[in-house]
Chain A
Amino acid sequence: MKLPIYMDNQATTPCDPRVVDAMVPYLADHFGNASSRNHAFGWTAEEAVESAREQIAELIGASAKEIVFTSGATESDNMALKGAFEFYAKKGNHIITAPTEHKAIIDTARYLERQGAEVTWLPVNEDGTISPDELRKAIRPDTVVVSLMHGNNEIGTINPIGEFGAICREAGVLFHTDAAQTVGKVPIDVNEMKIDLLSMSGHKMYGPKGIGALYVRRKNPRVRISPQLHGGGHERGMRSGTLPVHQIVGLGKAAELCRLELPEEMKRTKALRDRLLEKVAAGVPEILINGHEQHHLPGNVNISFTFVEGESLLMALRDVAVSSGSACTSASLEPSYVLRSIGLDDENAHSSIRFGVGRFNTEAEVDYVADLVIRSVAKLRAMSPLWEMHQDGIDLKSIEWAGH
């Protein structure tokens, strides 16, 4: 087994070697500009782009014309929200979203608030789900767009976006979903789920970084968005900028592999994730599992190791790449806002570790990680005054701590 072990597949995924192989010719031999309509270099590039568009569309049940290439999910999120808000300004200024969204949605929504939008932040259940009823209640005649993510990047909770889509469609409101964590991991069908706008990202699905897409529905209803990047009118005017052909080819290949291997891969990553959780739970008492018990990303589990601080645990797991919701690992010194939003205490947010099993992890790696976690938590708890007090039956909430 090779160290270090990468088990942080919600942060990014390695590019599949088959994807890399597909991309390389488009960096060297086929370097043409896909917009060059008058020579073979351009035609070759355009063909590659259009074939990738098909591959991506097929993965989510869309048609190729509905795929707009972007630099990644952050841009897609910005484009969907700002673009819809601007285009449908006459209809209203109300946006609905949730506090557990990715920052690309949260910060865009806050930006739009400063531009005159009214934003409703839906309440979040303890398991990270949003209740369809809460969404239904929040929709108003002036609601322009609803943006609710499919799979959460920290706790892995998968939301019932098909229900959200149906509610929005019935109310005549656009439904956008940030599906960066779920495209290629779990089945998605934009028609069945009544999705109008969908963000996806190459590097979360074993493709390259710097490329993503926004699905924009063309029929029933036809969705319009104001462009956010102006220029040469690429992507049917929605997103100008020379197409990065090699990146697009990579995203296309990644999408094709995901589509072909999804059923098997979903089972396999879920089994590895379950194995990890079972082993850890058997070896470490008093853990909390953050997120939804059943509806979660196949490879994700987020665990709070109570009375142990997350960064110190990451230090013990230095041969293993995982991440923590602890403030100490963030630039802001604030614990994870997602964990706070689901009602977790700050101390348990500090104690959280996110494990993200992916395509290239093995059973042996899972066993190694579980064993290391068990030993490390035991060592750190032996060093933790909070664990000792807890063992002595002292209620930590009864103590007046001096915050700093």
Chain B
Amino acid sequence: MAYSDEVVDHYENPRNVGTLDKNDTAVGTGLVGAPACGDVMRLQIKVTDDGRIEDARFKTYGCGSAIASSSLVTEWVKGRTIDEALAIKNRDIADHLALPPVKIHCSVLAEDAIRAAISDYKTKKGLD
């Protein structure tokens, strides 16, 4: 199976790989997927006091499409408000990366990661 140029680019030059301090109250961490299923994504966001995502980091265990999906998402959420980030849908990710049907679950996982990270942030801040 051939990968799209977008997937190859994100896989070879992943954006924003790394770790933020998960104990920082401004940081939300989302860990989704399962090792047994072959993909685990961890997305972390750092949110300013006025609710804007100023930084994002990821680490992913998974195929090239999973790595590309999470790398792309870190780029997309940066600079967005929380509500704007929640508007990112797996369809947008899959379309942008030209994922084949068998890899759609990678984009679903990336959307889940955004939700999980925001939910963790909100819980920490007592916003829920």
Residues in A lying within 8 Å of B, measured CB to CB? 307-309, 311-312, 315, 326-328, 333, 335, 345-347, 350, 382-388, 396, 401-404
Q: Given the complex of chains A and B, what is the CA–CA distance between A383 and B40 in angstroms?
A: 11
Q: Given the complex of chains A and B, what is the CA–CA distance between A171 and B40 in angstroms?
A: 51
Assess A309 versus B63: contact at CB under 8 Å? Given A315-B11, A382-B17, A385-B31. Answer: yes
Interface centre among A308, A312, A402 (most CB of B within 10 A): A312
Assess A386 versus B38: contact at CB under 8 Å? Given A315-B11, A404-B33, A404-B105. Answer: no
Inter-subunit contact B36/A403 (CB<8 Å): yes
Contacts of B14 in A (CB 8 A): 383
Q: Given the complex of chains A and B, what is the CA–CA distance between A347 and B32 in angstroms?
A: 15
Contacts of B39 in A (CB 8 A): 309
Main secondary structure of the interface of B (DSSP, over half): mixed
Q: On chain B, which size bracket covers the interface?
A: 20 to 34
Assess A385 versus B61: contact at CB under 8 Å? Given A312-B11, A404-B33. Answer: yes
Inter-subunit contact A386/B64 (CB<8 Å): no
Contacts of B37 in A (CB 8 A): 327, 346, 403-404
Distance between B89 CB and nearest chain A CB, rounded to angstroms: 17
Assess A383 versus B38: contact at CB under 8 Å? Given A312-B67, A315-B11, A402-B32. Answer: no
Closest to B67 in A: A312
Assess A350 versus B38: contact at CB under 8 Å? Given A311-B63, A385-B59. Answer: yes
Neighbour of A386 across the interface among B19, B61, B102, B108, CB < 8 A: B61
Inter-subunit contact B36/A388 (CB<8 Å): no
**New contact pairs (15) apart from A309-B39, A385-B42, A396-B35, CB-CB < 8 Å:** A309-B63, A311-B38, A311-B63, A326-B38, A328-B63, A333-B102, A346-B38, A347-B38, A350-B36, A385-B31, A401-B33, A402-B32, A404-B33, A404-B108, A404-B109
Distance between A337 CB and nearest chain B CB, rounded to angstroms: 15
Q: Binary interface profile of B, 12-45, with partner A (CB < 8 Å = 1, else 0)?
A: 0010010100000000000111111111111000
B90: Cβ under 8 A from any A Cβ = no
Inter-subunit contact B36/A401 (CB<8 Å): yes
